[in-house]
Every structure is written in structure tokens, then in C-alpha cells.
């Protein structure tokens, strides 16, 4: 096999991904919408854990929760992140439990409102959107903060590349009511694989790596050399430090965070190519600013390995079939995430600024009032 087809294949498949771095069952009746946002803001939410997962066959959902001392819990289904508390519950249980829910009305996205006997309700959904051409598209909401509040769902989404969207998947993104799609990629990435934008969303380019002269900035030869030498992990560790130190990265994340402070008339979607590195640090910054514990931030970061598994496996198979000019195992480090990568960024924050609070102030330009606004906008419930 000639070198040219292999190089083309690398750019369009595996390396385009890898170098991005750079027991209750119930049937529902249709409920009548009734927003519960005000109550959620005014009272403490007693849930200490809650999760929704779509069943493997797509025919229903598995909901689990823990709310010690909250009494009985009734669960309602609806299509709005504002929540539904009228109509018939689709499931119920005690203050800790799980339920399998089937037969809920069709909706672009299903939200569940968990209503306890004592305390404010909580609205949650499956964090993953399960869009075939954007496998790492997911909601960053549904996490509990250290002070007992919850990150609102349906407002901020992280994603991988958006150039491969089918018309059907693009229509699915439109149902998220996106106001802005933030592209964190380099100019070469944007030229090679331009976004397909939902009809109601404006595009905003915030090139994290504009000031980088290495692999983070899109230098394919530099990246290939590092990966072939088995230095992929070192490359991504350095890239995560750059997310904190590069002037272009500081400017990009500064603009992004101030956009969230200002607010949009709709949801925010942000992405890079794999949706795991530049997007991963953006998510870590947002969740940390909102008060989500570091271990939860890390767990969200590591989920990219699950969401990207099938996409990466397909890319790896194509890479091997192309003749694999170097050990395919060397690609694993750059196609996945590791705790050490994100930790390198947090360590760089401490090294350069002394604390995350100082980073938020001095690099991102956020005031105490800005952070308070973020929390009023994107958190539910009263602090415990």
C-alpha cells in the first residue's frame, strides 16, 4: 500500500479523532406541563444522587435516586427541562430506590421530575443524547454541587465534531433549542471539517490553540512523530497544561465563560473534534465554577472513554487496515482520556495562579458577581 492513501486515511479517520487535542415498572400517561423551576430555586433539593439511563433496547429508562429522609418519591415524565408535576406519575418509590419506566410519550428528549414528600423536586434526564453521528454529545447538567444544589439540565451541552451530522441528527440538535454553537478547534480543523449548524443557532469560533506552534495547533507531522515514538500520553499531558497557559486558550475560555454569564436565549453547545480535551477542560472549568466536587468533575471527564468507544474502535480498525505505519497501541493514549491529563491542567492552574479562584479571576476575568450569576442561572435548589 502506498504512503499517500495511508496518510489520507489517517487524517480522515483515526488521527482526525486522536489529534483533536489538540423494582418498579410503569406506563406513563401524557402529563400536563407545569413548571417547577421557582420552587426548585427557593427550597433545598433533598436528593444526594440521581441518574437516568436509557435502556439498551431504547424502549424505556432506568431511573435511580437517593434522598435520605425525603419520604416517598413520585416520578413524572415530560419533554421540558422546566419539569412536569401534574398528570399521573410514571413511577414511585421510597426515599431511595430505582424504577424502570416504559411507555412514556414520545419526545425529542425525555425529562423526569422526581418529587419527594419533603423538599424541592429535581428534574433529570439521560445525560447522553445518543445522536449517532455525535456520540460524545451530552448534557453537563444533572450533577450535585458540594453545597447540595444541582446543575440544571437542558442548558449546556458538550460535543465532539459536528461536521458529520446527518439531516436527521441535525434536526435532533435543533430540538435542544441551541442559541450558540462554540467551536474550539483550529483553523485547519474547521477548514477540513466545517460544522453543520442547527438552524436556530449562531456559530462562534474560539480557537483554543491559535497560539500553539506544535501538535496542539494542528501540526500533524509533529503529532505523528510523537505518537509513533509512543509519546502520545506526554503530548496530551502537555496539551492540557497549554489549555491553562496559552494566551489563545485563556482568551477562548474567558470569552466562553463570559458568554455563559451573560446568558443566551437558548442552550449553549461547545465542541472540539473528539469532544474530550479542549472540550474536557471547558467542562471542568464550568462545573468547578458551579461548585461541583473535583471527583465528580473527573468522573464526567472520564465518560468520554465510554461515549467514544465505538467511534474509536471503528477508527482503530480502519487504521490497522490501512497498513498501520506504527504500533496501533500508540494511538490509544491520544484517542482516550486519562485522569493524569486533566490533573495536569489543574496542576498548571495551581502552579501559575496558586488556586482555581485566582485562575478564574486573573485568567478568565470573572468577578465574584459573575460567578454568583453563573450559579443563579445554572443551579437549582437552595444551598444546604
CA angle 160, 161, 167 (to 5 degrees): 115
Which domains does the chain carry?
3-20+128-380 (3.90.190.10), 23-126 (2.60.40)
Give the model's pLDDT for residue 219: 62
Cα 328 to Cα 235: distance, rounded to the nearest angstrom: 16
Assign 106 a pLDDT band (cuts: 50, 70, 90). Answer: confident
> Given a cut of 80, is residue 6 above it in pLDDT?
no
First to last CA, the chain: 63
> Given a cut of 50, is residue 314 above it in pLDDT?
yes
Per the prediction, the chain carries an average pLDDT of 89
> Given a cut of 80, is residue 162 above it in pLDDT?
yes
Task: Give me the residues paired with residue 144 across strands.
Answer: 150
The tens digit of pLDDT for each residue in 188-231 reads 999 999 999 999 999 999 999 999 876 565 566 778 888 988 99
Please state the rounded mean pLDDT for residues 364-375.
98
Give the model's pLDDT for residue 30: 31
Residue 100, burial from CB neighbour count under 10 angstroms (0-12, 13-18, 19+): middle
Cell numbers for 335, please give them.
Answer: 484517542
Query: How many Cβ atoms from other residues are within 10 Å of residue 302's Cβ?
Result: 17
DSSP code of residue 322:
T
Cα 366 to Cα 361: distance, rounded to the nearest angstrom: 5
Is there a contact between 129 and 137 (Cβ–Cβ < 8 Å)? Answer: yes
Report the predicted TM-score, pTM, of the whole model to 2 decimal places. Answer: 0.90
Amino acid at each position: 500500500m502506498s504512503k499517500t492513501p495511508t496518510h489520507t486515511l489517517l487524517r480522515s479517520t483515526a488521527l482526525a479523532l486522536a489529534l483533536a487535542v489538540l423494582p418498579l415498572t410503569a406506563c406513563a400517561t401524557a402529563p400536563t406541563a407545569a413548571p417547577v423551576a421557582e420552587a426548585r430555586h427557593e427550597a433545598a433539593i433533598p436528593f444526594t444522587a440521581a441518574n437516568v439511563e436509557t435502556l439498551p433496547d431504547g424502549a424505556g429508562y432506568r431511573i435511580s435516586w437517593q434522598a435520605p429522609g425525603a419520604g416517598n418519591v413520585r416520578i413524572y415524565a415530560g419533554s421540558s427541562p422546566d419539569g412536569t408535576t401534574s398528570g399521573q406519575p410514571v413511577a414511585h418509590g421510597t426515599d431511595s430506590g430505582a424504577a424502570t419506566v416504559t411507555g412514556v410519550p414520545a419526545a425529542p428528549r425525555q425529562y423526569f421530575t422526581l418529587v419527594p414528600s419533603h423538599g424541592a423536586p429535581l428534574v433529570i434526564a439521560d445525560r447522553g443524547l445518543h445522536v449517532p453521528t455525535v456520540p460524545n454529545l451530552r448534557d453537563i447538567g444533572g450533577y450535585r454541587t458540594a453545597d447540595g444544589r444541582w446543575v440544571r439540565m437542558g442548558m449546556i451541552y458538550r460535543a465532539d465534531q459536528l461536521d458529520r451530522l446527518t439531516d436527521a441528527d441535525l434536526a435532533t440538535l435543533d430540538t435542544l433549542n441551541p442559541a450558540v454553537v462554540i467551536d474550539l478547534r483550529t483553523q485547519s480543523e474547521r477548514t477540513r471539517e466545517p460544522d453543520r449548524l442547527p438552524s436556530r443557532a449562531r456559530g462562534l469560533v474560539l480557537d483554543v490553540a491559535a497560539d500553539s506552534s506544535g501538535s496542539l495547533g494542528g501540526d500533524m507531522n509533529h503529532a505523528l512523530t510523537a505518537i509513533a515514538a509512543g509519546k502520545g500520553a506526554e503530548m496530551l499531558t502537555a496539551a492540557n497544561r497549554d489549555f491553562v497557559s496559552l494566551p489563545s486558550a485563556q482568551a477562548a475560555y474567558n470569552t466562553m465563560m463570559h458568554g455563559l454569564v451573560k446568558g443566551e436565549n437558548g442552550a449553549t453547545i461547545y465542541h472540539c473534534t473528539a469532544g474530550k480535551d479542549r472540550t474536557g477542560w471547558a467542562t471542568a472549568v464550568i462545573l468547578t465554577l458551579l461548585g461541583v466536587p473535583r471527583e465528580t468533575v473527573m468522573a464526567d471527564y472520564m465518560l468520554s472513554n465510554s461515549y467514544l468507544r465505538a467511534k474509536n474502535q471503528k477508527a482503530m480498525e480502519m487504521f490497522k487496515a490501512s497498513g498501520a505505519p506504527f504500533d496501533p497501541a500508540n494511538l490509544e493514549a491520544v484517542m482516550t482520556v486519562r485522569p493524569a491529563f486533566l490533573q495536569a491542567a489543574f496542576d498548571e492552574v495551581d502552579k501559575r495562579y496558586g488556586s482555581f479562584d485566582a485562575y478564574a479571576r486573573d485568567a478568565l476575568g470573572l468577578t465574584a458577581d459573575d460567578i454568583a450569576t453563573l450559579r443563579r442561572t445554572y443551579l437549582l435548589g437552595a444551598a444546604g
